[in-house]
């Protein structure tokens, strides 16, 4: 498996991974699957924000998962914190794809100067909870009945991982620039 920076031409594969999750599960709170053009715009927006978006290619070069970071909140004092997201293609879950993506994304965020990473997980989702806890995230709490999808109210649990020690007067994180 190869972990690499997402390219605009990966948008269709990313959309194909995400579409069944949106359409058939409560894992995503979106209700309409975004198409390739929308996913291309999201990849571009993440890059313009100076944050990484990664994909995992299998041995045949097919995209089997993706992970990215986004701003945790808009206020300036939150600039050292990011939200992280990972999705893996159906049929490839439980095979180390998510762990490999986080194995590259989390150290990269640390190098950029971020201190905390947060992950929101729609519950129940034992596989995602297991992945996040396996890579060092700790549970924080639950937003109860925060979203309504597929005919029922959904909870979202929040997990946190410290990326680096916090200190007084940290330098602002650097923007991600693909090599």
Q: Which range of residues forms the domain containing residue 22? A: 2-162
- Residue 170 in any domain: the answer is no
- Residue 171 in any domain: the answer is no
- Residue 172 in any domain: the answer is no
What pLDDT is stored for residue 90 in this prediction? 92
- Residue 174 in any domain: the answer is no
Cα of first residue to Cα of last residue in the chain, in angstroms, is 20
Domain count, the chain: 1
What pLDDT is stored for residue 178 in this prediction? 81
What pLDDT is stored for residue 16 in this prediction? 98
Contacts of 97-100 with C-beta under 8 Å, sequence gap 24+, read 97/1, 97/56, 97/64, 97/65, 98/65, 98/67, 98/131, 99/131, 99/134, 99/135, 100/1, 100/3, 100/56
CATH classification at residue 50: 3.40.630.30
Q: Is 141 helix (H, G, I), strand (E, B) or coil?
A: strand
- Residue 178 in any domain: the answer is no
User: What are the backbone dihedrals phi and psi of residue 52, each rounded to the nearest 5 degrees, phi first?
Assistant: -85, 145
Q: Is 9 helix (H, G, I), strand (E, B) or coil?
A: helix
Q: Comparing C-alpha atoms, which of 79, 98, 77 is closest to residue 88? A: 98
Per-residue tens of pLDDT for the chain, all 179 residues:
999 999 999 999 999 999 999 999 999 999 999 999 999 999 999 999 999 999 999 999 999 999 999 999 999 999 999 999 999 999 888 889 999 999 999 999 999 999 999 999 999 999 999 999 999 999 999 999 999 999 999 999 999 999 998 877 789 999 998 86
Q: Comparing C-alpha atoms, which of 93, 71, 75 is closest to residue 83? A: 71
Query: What pTM was estimated for this model as a whole?
Result: 0.95
Q: Comparing C-alpha atoms, which of 70, 50, 172 is closest to residue 120? A: 70
Tell me the C-alpha distance between 161 and 143, whole Å.
Answer: 18
Report how far apart, in Å, the C-alpha atoms of 101 and of each of 22, 84, 88, 143 are: 21, 11, 10, 26
- Residue 122 in any domain: the answer is yes
Report how far apart, in Å, the C-alpha atoms of 123 and of each of 4, 12, 126, 134, 160 are: 29, 27, 8, 17, 16
Q: Which residues contact 118 (CB under 8 A, 6 or more apart)?
A: 72, 81, 82, 83, 84, 140, 158, 159, 160
- Residue 167 in any domain: the answer is no
């Amino acid at each position: 498996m190869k972990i690499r920076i997402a390219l605009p031409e990966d948008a269709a594969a990313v959309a194909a991974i995400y579409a069944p999750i949106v359409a058939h599960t409560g894992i995503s709170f979106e209700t309409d699957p975004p198409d390739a053009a929308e996913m291309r715009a999201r990849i571009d927006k993440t890059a313009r924000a100076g944050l990484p978006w990664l994909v995992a290619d299998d041995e045949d070069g097919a995209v089997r998962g993706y992970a990215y970071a986004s701003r945790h909140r808009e206020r300036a004092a939150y600039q050292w914190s990011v939200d992280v997201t990972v999705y893996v293609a159906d049929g490839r879950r439980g095979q180390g794809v998510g762990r490999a993506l986080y194995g590259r994304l989390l150290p990269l965020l640390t190098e950029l100067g971020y201190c905390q990473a947060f992950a929101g997980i729609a519950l129940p989702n034992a596989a995602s909870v297991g992945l996040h806890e396996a890579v060092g995230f700790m549970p924080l709490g639950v937003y109860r009945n925060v979203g309504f999808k597929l005919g029922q109210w959904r909870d979202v649990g929040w997990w946190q991982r410290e990326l680096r020690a916090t200190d007084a007067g940290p330098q602002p994180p650097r923007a991600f620039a693909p090599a």
